[in-house]
Structure 1
Amino acid sequence: MRFENTGYESIKADLNRLDEVMNEYGLVRAGQWDYERVTYDRKFELKEGIFYLRVFGHAVEGDVGADKAVIQLMKPLLGKHYYPHGVEYGEGESFPKSLVTQCEKILSDVKTEMAKFAI
């Protein structure tokens, strides 16, 4: 599920500050990066399954590996994990309404926090 109209596509931020804010809201980068891209994940384990809120970004300046980059964010996604295949985001997926509402709140709060330092 793609979260539309979040305004994330217009946000550019310093990687280190972005890491701090995302971590405050449970969105973790961990090892999910390369020199040009980052992925922040928050895992939700519910009776309906395992879901991931994902925020992707790519470096428009600098190098992620050197921890010196400006990241352009992309539209956030919500996906459901299927073992052993991975995470599916397709239109045919069903997501609990309470989870969607919780993710929308998290994304809104993160955006508000990032507005204080966005480039």
Structure 2
Amino acid sequence: MYFENTGIENTVIDLNLLDDLMKKNGLIRAGQWDYERVTYDKKYEIKEGTFYLRVFGFTKDGDVGAHDANITLLKPVVGKHYYPHGVEYGENEVFPNHLVKSCEQVLAALKKDLSSFELQA
């Protein structure tokens, strides 16, 4: 399930600052990156299953591995984890209201933090 009109998508921000702001809001990059893309996750383990709030980003001309990149954020998504296959985001998935509300709160707090540091594209 994609979150529309969060105000996060298309934000451009320095990778190092982004790592700090994401961590502050419970989203961790860990090993989920390559030289042009990043993924930040917040894991929810609730009675309905395991879910991940994900925020994806990419750089046009930087190097994530060298910590020298401005990241453009994409539309956030929440998905359900199925062992051993991975995370599904499909429209047939059911996302509990309390989970969606929590994700929206995290994204609103993140938007507020990002707005202070956004770079002009």
Aligned CA-pair RMSD? 0.7
Higher relative strand content:
1
Letter in 2 for 1:89: Y
In 2, Cα distance between equivalents of 1:9 and 1:41:
16
Aligned to 2:28: 28
Once the two structures are superposed, residues 65-87 of structure 1 have per-residue CA deviations (whole angstroms, 9 ceiling, x without a partner) of: 00010000000000000011100
Give 5+ residue unaligned stretches, structure 2: none
1:6 deviates by: 0.9
Does the CA contact (< 8 Å) of 1:13 and 1:117 recur in 2? yes
User: Identity across aligned pairs (percent)?
Assistant: 61
Q: Deviations over 1:47-80 (max 9, x none)?
A: 1000000000001231100001000000000000
Show the counterpart of 2:87. 87
Q: How does 1:1-119 map to 2 (within 5 A)?
A: 1-119=1-119
Preserved CA contact (<8 Å) 1:13 1:72 = yes
Q: Mind listing any 5+ residue stretches in structure 1 that lack a counterpart?
A: none
Cα distance, 1:7 vs. partner? 2.0
Q: Residue 35 of structure 1 aligns to a residue in which SS?
A: coil
Q: Is the CA contact 1:61–1:71 (under 8 Å) kept in the aligned structure 2?
A: no
**Aligned counterparts of 1:14 and 1:47: Cα–Cα separation in 2:** 36
How far residue 14 of structure 1 moved from its aligned partner, in angstroms, is 0.2
| Alignment length (residue pairs) | 119
What secondary structure, in the 3-state scheme, does the structure 2 residue paired with 1:60 have?
coil
Q: TM-score under structure 2 normalisation?
A: 0.96
Q: Which runs of 4+ in 1 moved over 6 A?
A: none
